[in-house]
């Protein structure tokens, strides 16, 4: 320990109890640590700092080495509300509204503004009160209604709610509004998009004319919309029927990386919490991913440009081989040995060429082929393993084993084998069960490259693999083979427990898996005793 960390931060007495979170102060006792926390250390206690550079702008860097699984940041939402187009939700508690019990009934409506709510208790929610007063004071009444027998539809009228909540912060919480205003907006890039042309034509008129908020300029309103589109997180809590947007100003400064070092989750209070997926070194940029790990560089970068208005230049995107995965490459149909990769991955218009022969393809040709294959994948029957297997076989010549489209099909198969109708675990043939194990192991190798450590993606693959290994063990007639598979399953379950320890909704499943494994081990011991 440094000589500067030998005195208690509160009383200056000799101390040795290090603050476990920031590791920058020590205390002589637990009581003094608690007291110092109340006096202000709570605001300073963190393992990261805000940094700035030309490429990323403001971002967060680790100020010390961070352990795998360690919580790095926890933040409450500054604001939350419906997505731009949303299924009917309660503006008080933000739960999706269930169809009325009686076919002839309608949603409960707020007695003042007529927006659908869960019930009377949600009328007084602090989330809804200010917007309700504004709209009812302007004599605006929501027209959203429930039509018996009609499929759930998304309502574009919800696009105004989150925007109004941000605007009302200016008077109700000036400090919060200042934090919101400091965030990136990318407004100039967004103004040319079809969405912002619609917002300009309809939303501005509604806010300034119908609601009477004439003090706000058109550009100021659109800038807030752009801040929301750039910085909000999608908050999903399936058990609570909640799927909304939430703004966390601190978390909004965390960088994107296609091979990130953190993951995030939402707790029951809708706080966002970030965990280290792997050990993070002091000085390292903290990052999460806004894209899907199995997608190729060209797919990820196009998505990020359209959704977040930036061009990713992370290590994976810069590497023509995508860290050795070749996810975006296709097999050269001429030499049948090389892979066709981009000459300059950070230029979407750059040509592609074979590693081993002179074959070249234009960027346009690659994009059209990629889009066609993606459409084909998305059109497959999501309950049919056969369709996905046929896709892989049909494209076996031009698509190698780790091409993005093949990887997406393989991941779908890991979910379908053991779960799809007619393919439940106990119904799987020996061949299909073996195929599930092989697919999980293949994808885990890829996960270790760009979504490794304690990632949810890797954890879910391990769960599928563990379940398949136990199923194989239970079918085996060879005690030694059974023992080996159960031993490996036990090791996997221990690792899964580490990965999922911060995911409350996974604990019941893990307990069930442990019980099944224990029963299988007990059965094996019984067989050994008989022999």
Q: Which of 35, 46, 152 is nearest to 89 (CA)?
A: 152
Q: How far is the C-alpha of 177 from the C-alpha of 82, rounded, in Å?
A: 19
DSSP output for 297-343: HHHHHHHHHHHHS-----HHHH-TTTTTT-TT-EE-TTTSSSEEEES
Q: What is the pLDDT of residue 489?
A: 97
- Ranges of the chain with pLDDT below 50: 1-4
Q: How far is the C-alpha of 127 from the C-alpha of 165, rounded, in Å?
A: 8
pTM: 0.88
- Give how far the C-alpha of residue 73 lies from the chain's centroid of Cα atoms, to the nearest Å: 16
DSSP 98: P
Place of tokens 């990318």: 186
Architecture of domain 307-529: Alpha Horseshoe (1.25)
Contact 280, 261 (CB under 8 A): yes
Q: For 89, phi and psi rounded to 5 degrees? A: -130, 160
List, in sequence order, the alpha helices (H) in 141-263.
159-172, 174-181, 187-190, 194-198, 204-205, 218-231
Q: What is the pLDDT of residue 28?
A: 86
Judged on CB neighbours under 10 Å (0-12, 13-18, 19+), 428 is buried
* Residue ranges of domains in the chain: 79-247, 307-529
Q: What is the pLDDT of residue 528?
A: 65
């Amino acid at each position: 320990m440094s000589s500067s960390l030998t005195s208690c931060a509160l009383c200056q007495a000799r101390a040795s109890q290090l603050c476990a979170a920031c590791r920058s102060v020590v205390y002589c006792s637990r009581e003094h640590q608690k007291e110092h926390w109340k006096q202000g250390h709570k605001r300073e206690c963190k393992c990261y700092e805000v940094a700035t550079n030309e490429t990323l702008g403001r971002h967060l860097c680790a100020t010390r080495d961070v352990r795998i699984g360690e919580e790095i940041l926890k933040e409450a939402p500054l604001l939350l509300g419906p997505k731009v187009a949303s299924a009917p939700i309660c503006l008080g508690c933000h739960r999706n509204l269930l169809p009325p019990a009686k076919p002839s009934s309608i949603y409960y409506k707020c007695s003042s503004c007529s927006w659908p709510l869960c019930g009377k208790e949600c009328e007084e929610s602090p989330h809804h009160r200010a917007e309700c007063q504004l709209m009812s004071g302007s004599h605006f009444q929501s027209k959203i209604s429930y039509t018996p027998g009609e499929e759930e539809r998304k309502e574009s009228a919800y696009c105004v709610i989150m925007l109004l909540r941000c605007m009302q912060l200016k008077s109700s919480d000036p400090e919060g509004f200042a934090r919101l205003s400091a965030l990136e907006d990318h407004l100039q890039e967004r103004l040319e998009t079809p969405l912002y042309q619609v917002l300009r034509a309809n939303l501005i008129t509604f806010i300034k004319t119908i609601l009477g908020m004439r003090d706000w300029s058109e550009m100021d309103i659109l800038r807030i919309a752009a801040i929301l589109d750039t910085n909000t997180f999608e908050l999903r809590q399936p058990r609570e029927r909640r799927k909304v947007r939430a703004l966390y100003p601190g978390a909004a400064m965390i960088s994107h990386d296609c091979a990130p070092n953190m993951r995030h989750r939402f707790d029951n209070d809708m706080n966002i919490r970030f965990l280290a997926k792997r050990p993070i070194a002091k000085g390292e940029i903290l990052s999460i991913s806004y894209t899907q790990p199995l997608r190729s560089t060209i797919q990820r970068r196009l998505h990020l440009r359209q959704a977040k208005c930036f061009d990713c230049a992370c290590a994976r995107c810069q590497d023509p081989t995508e860290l050795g995965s070749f996810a975006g490459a296709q097999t050269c149909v001429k030499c049948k040995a090389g892979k066709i990769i981009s000459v300059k991955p950070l230029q979407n218009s750059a040509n592609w060429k074979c590693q081993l022969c002179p074959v070249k393809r234009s960027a346009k040709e690659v994009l059209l082929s990629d889009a066609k294959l993606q459409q084909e994948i998305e059109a497959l029957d999501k309950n049919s393993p056969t369709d996905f297997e046929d896709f892989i076989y049909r494209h076996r010549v031009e698509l190698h084993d780790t091409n993005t489209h093949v990887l997406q099909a393989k991941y779908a198969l890991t979910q379908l084998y053991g779960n799809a109708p007619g393919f439940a675990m106990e119904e799987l043939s020996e061949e299909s069960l073996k195929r599930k194990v092989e697919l999980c192991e293949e994808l885990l190798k890829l996960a270790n490259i760009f979504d490794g450590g304690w990632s949810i993606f890797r954890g879910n693959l391990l769960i599928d693999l563990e379940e398949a290994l136990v199923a194989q063990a239970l079918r085996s007639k060879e005690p030694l083979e059974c023992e080996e598979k159960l031993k490996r399953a036990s090791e996997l379950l221990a690792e899964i427990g580490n990965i999922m320890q911060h995911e409350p909704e996974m604990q019941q499943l893990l307990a069930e898996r442990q019980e099944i494994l224990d029963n299988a081990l007990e059965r094996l011991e019984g067989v050994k005793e008989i022999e």
